[in-house]
Structure 1
Amino acid sequence: MSHHAVQPPYRRIAAEIRRRIDLGELGPGDRVPSARQLTREHGVAIATATKVLALLRAEGLVLTRPGAGTVVAPGPAAPPRARRSADRSEPELTRERVVRTAIALADTGGLAAVSMRQIAAELDVATMSLYRHVRGRDELILTMADAALADAPLPAVLPAGWRAGLDLLARAQWATYRRHRWLPHVISIARPQMMPHGMAHTEWALRATGGLRLDRQLRWHMAITLMAYVRGIATNLEMRAQAEQDTGLTDDQWVGGQVATFQQMIAAGGFSTMAALTAQGDVDLDLETVFEFGLRRLLDGYATLVAPPPAEESGVSPGR
């Protein structure tokens, strides 16, 4: 039996709907089964059913219409632009609408779901009309990232104390990454990007360490290292969500089902330290606890750079 014959459930179900569209059983504008219908008809988890529809949207085969659900996208024989001209009530196509539609697609299906063709299908416009508002996909994705950061503006006034300021910034970025799991894969630490709202985050971090008598090298490294830490942990968010969609299981449920296998591997591999710690009981360990632990320890480390040296090291006697 060929290994190519085995497909994940969501791909098998998507292929069946794709076949019905190709045969004309489902035509442009026809509703496709909803996520709940797919769970009933195929006996899969709601997360798997949602992924079916996300895949079909990413391929440009279906789109979501308010009040109508998910329907087959218009074919080339019925250009969307011609239909729009007859309906003057449609909102004007703007750069903001293009960007917001792209963000919605990325939030559902990741960056792979974002294509000019799919955005045009969602907005019911001709694909070429999008290029009047964005030059191409690269510019669009950078604009999406800046818009996502703009949705969670930082307070106008820094909290008192450098640590409170950096802690607030880290948590604001973490919350934004959790809402937009594709975002950490866009942000670059090595090559600064022309994003006004992203630059505002860097400005905030630098302001937080102002007045501490630290040199500029140290202040820049503290700011960038903090943001790199949050981004690094956040790159795992999309993988976790993808795994939950593929399996229909949460991290805890998946680990629970793999305990016996892990124990066998630990024993067979001679991992004595892991075996000893595992035998002592479960550990509360997930992305959130790792983020919290790492953030606290990172800021603790910064505190040693900010604090004045002990009196005996500074040459000042304790009595003075």
Structure 2
Amino acid sequence: MTPEPPYLTIAAAIRRRIRSGELAPGDPVPSTRAVTREWGVAMATATKALAVLRREGLVRVEPGVGTLVAARSGDTRPEPLTRRRIVRAALELADAEGLNALTMRRLATVLDTSAMALYRHVPGKGELVRLMADEACGEVPLGPVPAHWRPGLERAARWLREVYARHRWMAQAMASFTRPVASPNAMAYTEWVLAVLRGTPMTSSQKLHTHLTLFAFVQGLALADDLEEQARLDTGLSGDEWMEQNEPRFDAAQSGRPYPLLDEVTRDGGFELSLETLFEFGLQRTLDGIAAMIDETSG
């Protein structure tokens, strides 16, 4: 007998919780991330499981809240299709499976509607991605502008990295600097950073270039994060497992010619590289460079 696909097994388990009353109407159901942790499956599998329950009418997506147990038949009318509901569902799909998996037809299936119904609210995928980026940038406020530029820029960099961590597809969506996304919340972020730099002696051009340099640094690491996650999904190997598997290749490459300086750095496990340590190092060195420029401008 062919074993049942994992996503159907997961959907059946959550369905039993709903029908037994363990999960009542209005209660949150496990999120895609919670499903991946509980059942040890990929985000794509978790998304498919929740999509089954949505198609059955057992759960519904509540914008800004998450996926909830739907009211029982006859208790309420179907949830209306709105632009905000479309954007939130698109965010969930892109977060789980990446931007390439997001199509209007696929989104229509998730929302149990037709692609034509979506086009009445959103003209196409390009506009949908713009709305998604704006929604993502508006989830968490930056707060008041600090009195000094350095903690302000540090907060801006960490805020942006957190946005990219929640929504890895954002690194692709906002990759162009010469063709930026026309997003009110992204523009508000730029305005906030420029307010941080307002009291410095830099010219307007220097302030904008400072903002874009910091933005490019964070985005570059976010793209690396996205590639690392995709590689993990494609190979099923963590970074450490991949390095261990490929260690013979590195040994073979080193045996062909000497790399004394590289050997010196890596000898005896002398350093540990991760994207997080690279972010911390690069952020502080970037801020040091900006500080030197401000000092030079002041002089």
TM class by smaller structure:
0.7 to 0.9
Provide the residue aligned with 2:45 in structure 1: 53
1:176 and 2:152 correspond: no
Q: Does the 8 Å contact 1:266/1:274 carry over to 2? A: no
Q: Which has the larger radius of gyration?
A: 1
**What does 1:233-272 align with in structure 2 at a 5 Å threshold?**
233-272=221-260
Tell me, what secondary structure is at the counterpart of 2:51? Answer: strand
Provide the residue aligned with 1:166 in structure 2: 153
Deviations 1:41-66 (A, max 9, x none): xxxxx76x526637x95xxx993425
Q: Does the 8 Å contact 1:35/1:53 carry over to 2? A: no
In the TM superposition, residue 89 of structure 1 has moved relative to its aligned partner by: 2.2
The aligned length equals 256
Deviations 1:119-175 (A, max 9, x none): 1111111211111111101100111111111112211x1112001111000000001
- Equivalent of residue 189 in structure 2, options 201, 217, 222: 201
In the TM superposition, residue 265 of structure 1 has moved relative to its aligned partner by: 1.5
Deviations 1:54-113 (A, max 9, x none): 7x95xxx9934259799xxxxxxxxxxxxxxx9962211110110010110100110111
TM-score (structure 1 length as normaliser) = 0.71
Provide the residue aligned with 1:214 in structure 2: 202
Identity %: 36
- Equivalent of residue 297 in structure 1, options 271, 276, 285: 285
Letter in 1 for 2:290: Y
Letter in 2 for 1:165: G
- Equivalent of residue 96 in structure 1, options 84, 94, 100: 84
1:223 and 2:227 correspond: no
- Equivalent of residue 8 in structure 2, options 23, 27, 32: 32
Q: Does the 8 Å contact 2:202/2:297 carry over to 1? A: no
TM-score (structure 2 length as normaliser) = 0.76
For residues 122 and 35 of structure 1, do their structure 2 counterparts lie closer, same or farther at Cα, with a shift above 3 Å needed? closer
Deviations 1:195-243 (A, max 9, x none): 0000011111111111222211111111111111111111011111122
**What does 1:5-154 align with in structure 2 at a 5 Å threshold?**
32-34=8-10, 49-50=41-42, 53=45, 63-66=51-54, 89-154=77-142
Q: Does the 8 Å contact 1:34/1:69 carry over to 2? A: no
CA–CA distance in 2 between the matches of 1:87 and 1:129?
A: 25
CA–CA distance in 2 between the matches of 1:209 and 1:185?
A: 27
Letter in 1 for 2:89: T
Provide the residue aligned with 2:21 in structure 1: none
Tell me, what secondary structure is at the counterpart of 1:63? Answer: helix
